[in-house]
Structure 1
Amino acid sequence: MTDERIITTTGRPTRRSTQSVTLNDVALHAGVSPQTVSRAIRRPDLVSRDTLERVRASIDATGYVPNLAASNLASNRSSTVAAIIPAINASVFADALQGLDEVLAEQGYHLFIGSTEYDPGVEEDLIRAFLGRRPDGIFIVGTVHTPAARELLQRARVPIVESWNWTDDPIDGLVGFSNRDAVRAIVEYTHDQGYRHPTFAGRFADGDSRALDRRDAFTTAVSRLHPDDVPRVLDSGELGVSMDAGKWLLDRALDLHPETDVLICASDVFAAGAVLECHRRGIRVPEDLGVTGFGGFEIARHLVPTLTTVAIPNRRIGTVAGEMLLARMADPGSPSPRIDLGFEVVAGQSTRHRTGEDA
């Protein structure tokens, strides 16, 4: 097919072939050389204001999209960062991505986002796929990976920030908190408030190392604080993480462990479902049953009663990770920080609170 161009009454070139508008088309439309167009795109500070305005107007008029792949090959930079998270529909990870994107976008970086659905094999595939697109940096939720995934990341030769947990052996940069310490803190808190028969409720998929850390921390803390009590753990299984699962977990706790005096949930989502089901059943919270969550979601503040939870700095994790990546991408020789942002046990109305006289 011949490449026949038509100049419309607006001066915008169109094509009868399927080929896209080229840099030469922009140059012809603007009345400048292709080299000037290229310079205006890559180094606008090197062209005059009048020329820059003409080139930009022609880019708009022609619908030209720069070939970033060719530019990336020339500069060995892609201006992209890969973000690998467990689930796109989880607000905690969405908050982190928001913080990450805001920091990176200011410096002209764009995000590639992939979701593993807590499957280590999918994570490995995503790492391979993203590395094939040559990102300038990688943000990844988690510190436990398959041997192959870990080797890929170690050989990537780009800055990497792991997050959402803590480890003594990070691949590169690390920003997060200890899930084990966080669960131990909430178990100790409920113990201090007089609870003696806690049940832990969550989703413990094999690929979710953070959830498994929380479960193990619970059983360890209960064995220490309640040596005569058998640790009670319930798994939502195929129901996943949802308010419906929280209702089901409450049902199971009351059915299998009627002695439960506080339901410690691995997510605020579970806790919200449990609290609402308590309302429907006429179970008083916290008088008849205490309920706690994990994550510090917005819903924790709006439930009635408000939710006792472990608040995690979700957005701050993304912001700090973005700052770390920018520093390392600008200076690959700079050190790889490891920043523990911690957590906070937030006392809500869903657990009773002992006074000095009660203690």
Structure 2
Amino acid sequence: MLPRFDEVVRVDAPSNNTSKTKEVGAREGTSKPIRIEGVALEAGVSPITVSRALRASTSVSPATRERVLAAVRKTGYVSNPHASALRSGRSTIVAAFLSNLVSQQYNDAATACAEVLEDAGFQLMIGQTAYSYARETAAVQSLRALKPAGIFFSGVVELEANRRAVREFGVPVVESWAFPRDPIDMLVGISNTEAGCMAADHFVGRGRRRLAFVGRSGGRGRLRLNGFRERARELNAEIVLVREVDHVRSISDGRTILRELASYTRDIDAVFIANDLLAIGALLEAPSIGVSVPHDLSILGIGDSEFAARMTPSLSVVAFDASFVGRRAGQLIASRLSGTSKSPSLEHVPLSLVERGSS
């Protein structure tokens, strides 16, 4: 039996300003990049001579090389080390877009994905979307030139325009970190709604009934809040406070948030911090503002890491195997590229509750 699906919001247009990105895309669409044949024509040599000159081959005379370089400057040609593979349709690059480059969860997934793909003869190229529609759009547009063999997202694409663009590339795509009914292609996901329900069950089971939530204001954060609210209501627990943030950059953001919540600690006895960086930061900050964890406040995070386990007190979390997410994503992409699998795939990664000293 499949777990609860996430009701992922599909967005027709970005909420932040992406006009600059659109302008870049428009320019790219109206002018073709200079190819090596154009440089060869300008220099009066063959394309293979241009290639050899740019590699500083000794088979090309200094005079010819200078003529080629002058043609490069005049035409604005930019050498692409992957051009030969791209023209022949044999790209070995798989693009991975991570929500951030700080979280151990995303890094574990990317590392596992890369190991699988490297064994299959592919290389993983990593970019960061930073939970931003504008950055996601720019990343998707960059793929038009790269023409990757496959794409992996540590999340799901919400913008409909980007979903269409990615689908039109015609390459294997794996989304993750959520469990929608309608992925672009393949999915290795967790149910964020289920994670919120598990958090409420955990707190109430330990006698905590005055609850708070901290998490991102959109995307997976909102899905986790929805599950948390729904289950708390069913258990007759009260959610006293909801603190949503637009951006998560580092552990220090969690420190700041706990300082903000300090005045409410008499009103709440537990907080579900639905982001690993925020939860770690909050737990680190607690002693400095006189909050005893878990006596004064029980804290539960999501996404496990070595650091969360080694803290004092250590962080209780709703956990899942991030390395498995990346490894399975790599396997699905490699199988599709090798022709051994052609079917869409919808795979669920189970959640577990790891109880430690913070709750």
CA distance in 1, matches of 2:326, 2:201: 29
User: Measured at CA, do residues 247 and 67 of structure 1 come closer, stay the same or move farther in structure 2, by a change above 3 Å?
Assistant: closer
Give distance in 1, aligned partners of 2:289 and 2:226: 31
1:317 aligns with 2:325: yes
User: C-alpha displacement at 1:107, in angstroms?
Assistant: 1.8
Q: 1:234 aligns to what SS in structure 2?
A: strand
Question: 1:183 corresponds to which residue?
Answer: 196
Structure 2 CA distance, aligned partners of 1:183 and 1:346? Answer: 14
Higher alpha-carbon deviation: 329-338 or 123-132: 329-338
Shift of 1:183: 1.6
Equivalent position amino acid for 1:269 in 2: L
Match of 1:217 among 212, 222, 227: 227
**CA distance in 2 between partners of 1:314 and 1:233 (Å):** 27
Gaps of 5+ in 2: 1-42, 44-51, 61-78
- Could you state the TM-score of these two structures normalised by the residue count of structure 2? 0.74
1:337-348 aligned within 5 A: 337-348=345-356
Letter in 1 for 2:336: R
Q: 1:273 to 1:73 in 2, by over 3 A?
A: closer
Cα offset for 1:187?
Answer: 1.3
Q: 1:129 to 1:242 in 2, by over 3 A?
A: closer
Answering whether residue 91 of structure 2 is matched by residue 73 of structure 1, we say: no
Q: Tell me the residue number matched to 2:212.
A: 199
Measured in 2, the distance between the counterparts of 1:24 and 1:220 equals 72
User: Max radius of gyration: which structure?
Assistant: 1
Deviation string, structure 1 residues 324-347 (Cα, Å, up to 9, x no partner):
000001117621222111211101
Structure 2: how far apart are the matches of 1:126 and 1:185?
34
- Of 313-322 and 117-126, deviating more is 117-126
Q: Compared with structure 1, are the counterparts of its residues 287 and 230 closer, same or farther at alpha carbon in structure 2 (3 Å cutoff)?
A: closer
1:232 corresponds to which of 217, 241, 262 = 241
TM-score norm. by structure 1 comes to 0.74
Compare relative contact order (CA 8 Å, sep 6+) and give the higher one, 1 or 2.
2
Instruction: Give the distance between the partners of 2:276 and 2:162, measured in 1 at CA.
Output: 30
2:277 to 257, 269, 275: 269
* RMSD of aligned alpha carbons: 2.8
Which structure 1 segments of 5+ residues have no match?
3-16, 26-64, 352-359
CA distance in structure 1 between the aligned counterparts of 2:185 and 2:273, rounded to whole angstroms = 32
Q: Amino acid of the residue matched to residue 139 of structure 2?
A: L
Number of corresponding residues? 294
Cα shift readout 1:129-165 (whole Å, capped 9, x = no counterpart): 1132211111112224212111112211111111111
Residues 85 and 113 in structure 1, CA contact (< 8 A), matched pair in contact too: yes
Q: Is the 8 A contact 1:236 1:249 kept in 2?
A: no
Taking the aligned partners of 1:113 and 1:245, their CA distance within structure 2 comes to: 24
Q: What is the CA-CA distance between 1:230 and the residue it aligns to?
A: 4.4
Tell me the percent identity.
28
2:147 to 134, 147, 158: 134
1:93-108 aligned at under 5 Å gives the runs 93-108=106-121
For residues 281-309 of structure 1, give each alpha carbon's deviation from its aligned partner in whole angstroms, at most 9, with x where no partner exists.
Answer: 44322222211111112222111112111
C-alpha contact 2:213 2:239 (8 A) present in aligned 1: no
Question: Kindly tell me: are residues 277 and 77 of structure 1, through their superposed partners in 2, closer, same or farther at Cα, counting changes over 3 Å?
Answer: same
Contact 1:162–1:171 at 8 Å: present in 2 too? yes
Letter of the 2:236 partner, please give it: H
- Please give the alpha-carbon distance, in whole angstroms, between the structure 2 residues aligned to 1:191 and 1:68: 55
Residue number in structure 2 paired with 1:61 = none
Write the mapping of 1:242-253 to structure 2, written as runs, cut at 5 A.
242-253=250-261
Contact in 2 for aligned 1:23/1:66 (Cα 8 Å): no
Q: Give the superposition deviation at 1:185.
A: 0.5
> What is the alpha-carbon distance in structure 1 between the residues aligned to residue 190 and residue 112 of structure 2?
17
CA positional deviation for 1:128: 2.0
Cα pair 1:219 1:231 within 8 Å, conserved = no
| 2:54 aligned counterpart, secondary structure | coil
The code of the aligned residue for 2:299 comes to: V
In 2, distance between residues paired with 1:306 and 1:319?
A: 27
1:6 matched to which residue of 2? none
